[in-house]
Amino acid sequence: MARPSPKPHPEPLRGPDRLLANRGPFIDLRSPGEFSTGAVPGAVNLPLLNDDERHQVGLTYKAEGQAAAIALGETLVSGPVKDARLAAWLAFIEDHPDTWLYCWRGGLRSRNAQGWLREAGMSIERVPGGFKALRQRCLEVLDAAPGTRPWLVLGGRTGTGKTVVLNEASGSIDLEGLANHRGSAFGAALSPQPTPVTFENALAVDWLNHDHPYLLLEDESRTIGRLAVPPAWHAQMQAAPVVILEADLESRAAHIAEEYVAEPLALGISETSLAESLQGSLDRIQRRLGGLRHRQVSEQLADGFRTGEHGPWIQSLLSWYYDPMYDYQLEKKEARVIFRGDRQAVREFLDDYEPEGRSDQVC
């Protein structure tokens, strides 16, 4: 008899976990340069000091000490500059009354901003320990996640629509969505990927909000574009049961044509730019594809943009490149496969799935 599934979150989330799970909202007072290295979900960058001002204050701190640096900061951010920054904070808080403030460590910048807001009649809490504390908590959450409940991995050849099924299923987290990457040689994001810090923080927040008896993830390699799946998560995924989504070659090609051609064109990307981008991706795998096949797929790709028929080049690429690679990887996972089927069958399986204990957990 299967043991009952563990119940997530036996107690309400508290402290930084609650703030993170609620996605703040946060006013991030760090400079734009600091913010660009990584943030937490729900944060808007409304800095106390811009990059140049922070640089000047830092130089003064090193040369003359804290008192001189504070005095310079008060001079730089005064009059109309101070009024404009305070007005931006007040406008955000008006739309988000439950806002929290943070800077790097929850220290001087947060206290100053808090004081200015208080003088303007607005009382706002600041995050204890600032961004550094939130970041540390996110890392702790990610490290602790494996082993707390059963995990399930959704696999399948390229183009089967794994992401569609994943996002329809309860209890899933979309790693590719968080990474803003489609996870293949042709998966270059339509907009830049987040920084590693932002990606990991967003993943931690999704986990804090996860309240399903098991976690469903798409089968991924160690990296998604230029971002790495956290080591503890990747190790857990390599031990979890696998569900395989199956589809025939023609329907897979049609799905890819929709995702990689029709959708970008609908977003306003020109045919010329898209064709060049896809050809560039094809060129990057030329050595693995082989010279002759590379030329053939290139010709089919060009024909596809002339005629609007993209099935031939996609089917060739699937048959010659993606399928052999996937089948090789699947051989290593065969012992962990617990179900195979088309979209409808997999949906029904996931709806009815009840994990048995924690035999798949990494110890």
Q: Measuring CA to CA, which residue among 174, 335, 155 is closest to residue 245?
A: 155
> Could you read off the pLDDT of 110-123 as tens digits, one per residue?
999 999 999 999 99
What distance in Å separates the CA atoms of residue 336 and residue 26, rounded to the nearest whole number? 42
187 versus 106: the higher-pLDDT residue is 106
pLDDT attached to residue 356: 75
363 is known as an active-site residue: no
Q: What is the CA radius of gyration of the chain?
A: 25
Average pLDDT, the chain: 90
Catalytic residue among 103, 127, 175, 179: 103
State the pLDDT confidence band at 349, using cuts at 50, 70 and 90: very high
* pLDDT tens sequence across 20-69: 999 999 999 999 999 999 999 999 999 999 999 999 999 999 999 989 99
Report the amino acid identity of residue 99: T
Residues 283-299 as b/e (b if ≥16 CB within 10 A, e otherwise) read eebeeebeeebbebbbe
Q: CB-based contacts of 101: which residues, under 8 Å, 6+ apart? A: 26, 27, 29, 110, 113, 114, 124, 125, 126, 127
The arithmetic mean of pLDDT across residues 186-212, rounded, is 86
Predicted confidence at residue 169, as pLDDT, reads 93
The two three-digit tokens of residue 97, written as one number = 């009354």
pLDDT one-digit tens code per residue, 262-307:
988 998 999 999 999 999 989 999 999 999 999 999 999 999 999 9
* Model pTM score: 0.88
Residue 5 tokens read as 């599934």
Strands 227-228 and 223-224: antiparallel
Angle at 30 (CA atoms; ends 26, 32), nearest 5 degrees: 105
Across 338-346, average pLDDT: 96
Residue 331 predicted with pLDDT over 80: yes
Q: Give residue 107's pLDDT.
A: 87
Look at the alpha carbons of 309, 311, 317, 322 in this order and tell me if their dihedral is positive or negative: positive
What pLDDT does 7 receive?
41
Q: Which domains does the chain have, with CATH numbers?
A: 15-138 (3.40.250.10), 149-352 (3.40.50)
Q: Is the pLDDT of residue 176 over 90?
A: yes
Q: What is the DSSP letter of 245?
A: E
Q: Give the pLDDT confidence score for residue 4 in this predicted structure.
A: 35
Alpha helices (H) along 169-242: 175-179, 196-208, 231-237
